[in-house]
């Protein structure tokens, strides 16, 4: 028996089909050992030696790997073909019998050909690639473990800094500063309709054109007064001074690399980066078709546009048969050299062009179909001929003024018959100024200027980052790698450092403060160029041109210096506002409290002025009246004082202002009209228990008031409450029980369950599979 060890149970099932009965395929379900969660785990005084421990919950997996390896004649380590996969293979090798032949195999596609090619060409573990991975892991641990605590004291426990995530946050914060400081510059344009006699007498038409030059120089009109002066002096009679006609070719986009796939999926499909990678992983690992489980795309973490000759030939044959010879590219595609490209894998492509999206649609989920179709069309179109446009540029001259009209007509569709790349957000294209010419225009033809209009313009501020443009910027700047973009974006959103508003990143006040602290105290470590250079050095470790110990030592010298300075100094967690205190005229600053950001006087404790605030469109701070302790109009039945609204960490309550002498507190909900409904313990709701159909009643607990089944303790159903639009109290839907874990026993998703002792992970295949395990903090 030959043992093959992969990462994913889903992939194991697909691979086992192709290898036959002589092979047993099992999964490690990701990493099995890692740095310890509750200590640094890196000996900085001993050449940065990492301390690896078994990941919690992976003891059974390792035991299974060991016992299966003992029975095997040979062991093939086949985790994913990247740095992480290489490290997993190395860790597995360290745990199993050293006396067995242990080989590393790479499956770049989960197809019969890909599996057999890999198994028939085994190699050794690439220790340079392993060292690159563990260098990245150690770097991230050093920064995260040693810098994050510096945020806890001035802000709150649990905040994190990251070597790469913090640079991404910096980009977003600096873009926001650019937008807030931006001053629009006014300009004007002049457009006119020209009545023109066509080449034939019966042809007449109107041509829309834009003022392009004055006295042979580019027209730059800064004010309305200048525009009016031009219009007053402009003649009515013009002539066609030049007609230029030429064919313009447009080449197809190259096949997807990871970052481009993420960008297109965000724009065209509305996927997040994280969702794109998750769906792509499922397509790579294998989908159950009529022929059995098949990997539908090549490995999805790549920054190379290289394509195998066999795949190119298959695509071109398909194009010729489907669209015709003229649609098949005659050119040999040559990828542009990029120094950041590792080129370990091909570009992302379908494992077979013959598996068209429509032919396998019934076997795919909606998301799988959308992404597969995008990948398939992008790859096939990359092997198609260029699109050809007939472009006409007409220039019209009158006195010192020259207008220009550009028209473009598709003459041959080429690759556009199948696929068009999406336009980048907020980027103006030349086609925006194009017009339509419906008749032949000859040179020297008279043209009469007719309807003419002036138009005011203002320069636009730099656009906020979307997920797509942030991924593009990270790629261009050399920050992170294709496999890390999704995690970077998820982290800065999950940590509440940024928020997506209308699909654009806005830094939160917390994000601004964290960014300020990190840049002030670590000006080098969180600098864009420094981070990009670290990525290059990690690549050099992988190709063997750099020693990983030397790279870590060089990094730590700079890092330790900044770390000591930050640790010894006083960290300010305040943001300046350019506002003065209305009480003492001192400066106001933004601070973070347990209920969020607020404005406070710098003369505290002498002056205790605080206020809520908001930012206007220019990012300027505006004070907002705090409704904390606003009177409710209700009288305290215990002491006779007027009850007031008060904010707590569990939400807003109505409480007695004489606290702590009087501790009267009432929970409430607001009706749609803004009036208040006081909630009383034991009050029956107009809702039935979804589990036993008995009445739901209000109960009070340490986290506030909630709905519970009146059948307790026989039925223990509970739920949070909310005010519905009809003015009745309803119960909120339960939170999602999805997790990112996969059952190591049967390969089905693990879900979050809640029991008497708290939440835990359980296999969704229950009762057939009863596997459970503890729920980690990250879940």
Strand arrangement of the beta sheet that strand 695-701 belongs to: 684-688, 695-701, 704-709, 718-719
Q: Tokens 């546009």 appear where?
A: 305
**Alpha-helical segments (H) within 547-639:** 548-568
Q: Tokens 């890692």 appear where?
A: 34
Q: Tokens 């800065």 appear where?
A: 492
How many Å apart are CA 437 and CA 428, to the nearest integer?
22
Burial string for 612-629 (b: 16+ CB within 10 Å, else e) reads bbeeeeeeebeeeeeeee
What's the angle, vertex CA 741, arms to CA 735 and CA 743, rounded to 5? 115
User: Can you read off the two tokens belonging to residue 684?
Assistant: 């029956």
Task: Using the Cα atoms of residue 753, residue 754, residue 756 and residue 759 in order, give the sign of their dihedral.
Answer: positive
How many Å apart are CA 298 and CA 17, to the nearest integer?
18
How many Å apart are CA 439 and CA 205, to the nearest integer?
7
How many Å apart are CA 207 and CA 228, to the nearest integer?
22
Helix (H) or strand (E) holding 501: strand 498-501
Q: Tokens 């040559």 appear where?
A: 334
How many Å apart are CA 241 and CA 398, to the nearest integer?
9
User: Can you read off the two tokens belonging to residue 102?
Assistant: 């242990």
Q: Give φ, ψ of 99 to 5 degrees.
A: -85, -5
In DSSP notation, 697-726 reads EEEEETTEEEEEETTTTT---EE-EEE-TT
Residues 569, 521: contact at Cβ < 8 Å? yes
Residues 142, 513: contact at Cβ < 8 Å? no
Cα distances from 508 to residues 176, 496, 619, 626, in angstroms, run: 11, 7, 12, 20
Q: What share of the chain is helix, strand, coil (3-state, %, to 5)?
A: 30, 30, 40
User: Can you read off the two tokens belonging to residue 150?
Assistant: 């510096």
In DSSP notation, 241-309 reads EEEEEEEEEEPPPPPBPHHHHHHHIIIII---HHHHHHHHHHHHH-EEETTEEE--BB-S--------H
Residues 128, 542: contact at Cβ < 8 Å? yes
Cα distances from 173 to residues 121, 168, 463, 514, 771, in angstroms, run: 49, 9, 12, 10, 44
- The terminus-to-terminus CA distance of the chain in angstroms comes to 37
Burial string for 28-49 (b: 16+ CB within 10 Å, else e) reads bbbbbbbbeeeebbbebeeebe
How many Å apart are CA 123 and CA 329, to the nearest integer?
36
Reduced to 3 states (helix: H, G, I; strand: E, B; else coil), residue 179 is helix
User: Can you read off the two tokens belonging to residue 49?
Assistant: 């030696």
Catalytic pick among 299, 369, 372, 401: 299
Q: Tell which residue, 663, 669, 617, has the closest CA to residue 637.
A: 663
Residue 757 neighbours by CB under 8 Å, 6+ apart: none
> What are the residues facing 53 on neighbouring strands?
34
How many Å apart are CA 4 and CA 96, to the nearest integer?
13
Residue 324 neighbours by CB under 8 Å, 6+ apart: none
Supply the DSSP symbol for 68. H
Catalytic (active site) residue 299: yes
Q: Report the catalytic residues.
A: 299
């Amino acid at each position: 028996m030959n043992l093959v060890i992969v990462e994913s149970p889903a992939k194991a099932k697909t691979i086992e089909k192709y290898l036959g009965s002589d092979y047993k395929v099992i999964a490690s379900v990701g990493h099995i050992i890692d740095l310890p969660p509750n200590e640094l785990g890196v000996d900085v005084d001993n050449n940065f030696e990492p301390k690896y421990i078994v990941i919690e919950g992976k003891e059974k997996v390792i035991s299974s790997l060991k016992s299966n390896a003992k029975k095997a004649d040979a062991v093939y380590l086949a985790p994913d073909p990247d740095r992480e996969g290489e490290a997993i293979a190395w860790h597995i090798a360290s745990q199993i019998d050293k006396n067995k032949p242990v080989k590393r195999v790479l499956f770049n596609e989960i197809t019969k050909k890909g599996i057999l090619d890999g198994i028939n060409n085994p190699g050794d573990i690439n220790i340079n690639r392993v060292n690159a991975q563990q260098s990245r892991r150690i770097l991230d641990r050093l920064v995260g473990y040693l810098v994050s605590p510096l945020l806890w004291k001035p802000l709150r426990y649990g905040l994190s800094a990251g070597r790469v995530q913090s640079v991404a946050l910096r980009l977003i914060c600096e873009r926001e500063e650019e937008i807030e400081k931006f001053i629009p510059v006014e300009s004007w344009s002049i457009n006119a309709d020209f009545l023109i006699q066509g080449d034939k007498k019966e042809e007449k038409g109107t041509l829309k054109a834009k003022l392009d030059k004055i006295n042979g120089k580019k027209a730059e009109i800064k004010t309305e007064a200048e525009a009016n002066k031009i219009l007053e002096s402009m003649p009515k009679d013009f002539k066609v001074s030049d007609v230029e006609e030429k064919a313009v070719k447009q080449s197809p986009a190259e096949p997807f690399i990871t970052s481009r796939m993420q960008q297109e999926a965000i724009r065209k499909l509305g996927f997040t980066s994280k969702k794109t990678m998750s769906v792509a992983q499922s397509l790579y690992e294998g989908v159950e078709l009529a022929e059995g489980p098949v990997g539908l795309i090549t490995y999805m973490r790549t920054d190379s546009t290289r394509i195998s000759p066999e795949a190119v030939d298959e695509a071109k044959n398909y194009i010729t048969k489907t669209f015709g010879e003229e649609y098949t590219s005659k050119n040999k595609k040559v990828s542009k050299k990029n120094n950041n490209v590792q080129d370990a894998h091909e570009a992302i492509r379908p494992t077979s062009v013959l598996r068209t999206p429509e032919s396998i649609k019934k076997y795919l989920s909606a998301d799988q179909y959308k992404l597969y179709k995008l990948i398939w069309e992008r790859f096939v179109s990359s092997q198609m001929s260029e699109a050809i446009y007939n472009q006409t540029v007409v220039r019209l001259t009158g006195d010192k003024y020259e207008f220009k009209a550009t028209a473009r007509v598709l003459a041959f569709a080429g690759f556009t018959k199948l696929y068009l790349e999406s336009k980048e957000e907020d980027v103006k294209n030349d086609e925006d100024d194009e017009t339509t010419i419906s008749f032949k225009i000859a040179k020297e033809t008279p043209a009469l200027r007719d309807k003419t209009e002036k138009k005011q313009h203002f320069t636009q501020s730099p656009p906020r980052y979307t997920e797509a443009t942030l991924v593009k910027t990270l790629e261009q700047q050399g920050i992170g790698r294709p496999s890390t973009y999704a995690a970077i974006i998820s982290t800065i959103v999950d940590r509440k450092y940024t928020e997506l508003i209308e699909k654009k990143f806005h830094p939160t006040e917390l994000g601004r403060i964290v960014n300020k602290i990190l840049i002030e105290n670590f000006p080098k470590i969180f600098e864009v160029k420094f981070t990009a250079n670290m990525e290059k050095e990690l690549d050099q470790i992988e190709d063997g041109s750099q020693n990983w110990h030397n790279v870590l030592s060089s990094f730590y010298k700079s890092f330790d210096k900044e770390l000591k300075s930050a640790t010894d100094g006083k960290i300010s967690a305040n943001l300046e506002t350019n506002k003065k205190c209305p009480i003492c005229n001192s400066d106001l600053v933004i601070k973070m409290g347990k209920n969020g950001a607020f404005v406070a006087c710098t003369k505290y404790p002498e002056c205790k002025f605080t206020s809520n605030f908001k930012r206007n469109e220019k990012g300027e701070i505006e004070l907002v009246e705090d409704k904390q302790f606003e009177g409710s109009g209700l009288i305290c039945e215990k002491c006779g004082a007027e009850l007031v609204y008060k904010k707590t960490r569990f939400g807003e309550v109505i409480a007695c202002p004489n606290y702590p002498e009087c501790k009267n507190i009432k929970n409430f909900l607001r009706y749609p009209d803004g009036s208040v409904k006081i909630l009383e313990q034991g009050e029956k709701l107009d809702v039935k228990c979804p589990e036993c159909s008995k009445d739901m009643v209000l109960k009070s607990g340490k986290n506030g008031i909630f709905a519970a089944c009146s059948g307790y303790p026989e039925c223990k159903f509970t739920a949070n409450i909310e005010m519905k639009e009809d003015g009745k109290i309803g119960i909120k839907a339960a939170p999602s029980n999805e997790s990112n874990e996969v059952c190591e026993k049967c390969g089905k998703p693990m879900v979050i369950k809640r029991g008497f002792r708290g939440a835990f992970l359980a296999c969704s295949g229950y009762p057939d599979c009863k596997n459970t395990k503890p729920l980690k903090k990250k879940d």
